Amino acid sequence: MIEMHDVWKTYPNGATALQGIDIRIDRGEFVYVVGPSGAGKSTFVKLMYRAERPTKGQIFVNGFNIDRMRERRIPYLRRHIGVVFQDFKLLPQLTAAENVAFALEVIEMPRRQIRRRVADVMELVGLSHKMHARPNELSGGEQQRVAVARALVNNPVVLIADEPTGNLDPETSWEILRLLEKINDRGTTVVMATHNRDIVNTRKKRVIAIEQGRIVRDEERGVYGL
């Protein structure tokens, strides 16, 4: 599903974010990525959807060597990968449903199909009653649900969440986590970079710990660490 072979990343300013990463994440897994601030977690997940490119090494997603992929194939790759961010990144002038529909309009899906698909994912995230609200009329947790719906609307094989609970209170964080678990139960691979010690330690799942750009721990039923 996702493989990295000896992946290194140095940014143009000379900051080395990753050093020799080897990893394999299989279809259907739920993986937490943990580590101190600046360890390289965001860089690690950004490489998976080609928001950043490695300085060295190979990355395979869904069987494709994504660094070798032609530019025109990138939108196709992104359709297989849903991404959720800490700060939601919704378009403020659009309603919840319009935010979710946007990705489908870009690929010119017929209108009726879009309407059905948007209604389905809004129901999945429990927000059928807020379809026409704009982001500033929604709570943080609701905005994150819309962002999850948007990430899922293309039926991706993998959902990448970079600190999805970073801006939410503990109770709302758990709601989002339960939503991600529900999505994982339906077969989608979930990779979640997080600082949420409580969640990682309560829900024992695979934990990949990164420190100073290296994987220092990779455990099947891991913990957050010290």
Ligand X SMILES: Nc1ncnc2c1ncn2[C@@H]1O[C@H](COP(=O)(O)OP(=O)(O)OP(=O)(O)O)[C@@H](O)[C@H]1O
The site for ligand X (CB under 6 A) is made up of 11, 13, 15, 17, 35, 37-43
Cβ 161 to ligand X shortest distance, Å:
13
> Between the CA of residue 201 and those of 137, 197, 204, what are the distances in Å?
33, 6, 6
Cβ 167 to ligand X shortest distance, Å:
13
CA distance 78 to 168: 26
Instruction: Name which of 13 and 136 has its Cβ closer to ligand X.
Output: 13
Instruction: Name which of 17 and 48 has its Cβ closer to ligand X.
Output: 17
> Between the CA of residue 32 and those of 131, 174, 196, what are the distances in Å?
30, 14, 10
Instruction: Name which of 175 and 211 has its Cβ closer to ligand X.
Output: 211
Instruction: Name which of 11 and 76 has its Cβ closer to ligand X.
Output: 11
What are the φ and ψ backbone dihedral angles of 172, each rounded to 5 degrees? -65, -35
Cβ 180 to ligand X shortest distance, Å:
18
CA distance 119 to 169: 27
Cβ 193 to ligand X shortest distance, Å:
6
- Nearest 10 degrees: CA dihedral of 211, 212, 215, 219? 0
Residues 6+ apart with CB under 8 A from 96: 90, 122, 127, 130, 131, 132, 133, 134, 135, 138, 146, 149
Instruction: Name which of 17 and 176 has its Cβ closer to ligand X.
Output: 17
Instruction: Name which of 125 and 200 has its Cβ closer to ligand X.
Output: 200
Question: In degrees, to the nearest 5, what angle opens at C-alpha 51 toward C-alphas 15 and 126?
Answer: 125
Cβ 202 to ligand X shortest distance, Å:
20
Cβ 124 to ligand X shortest distance, Å:
28
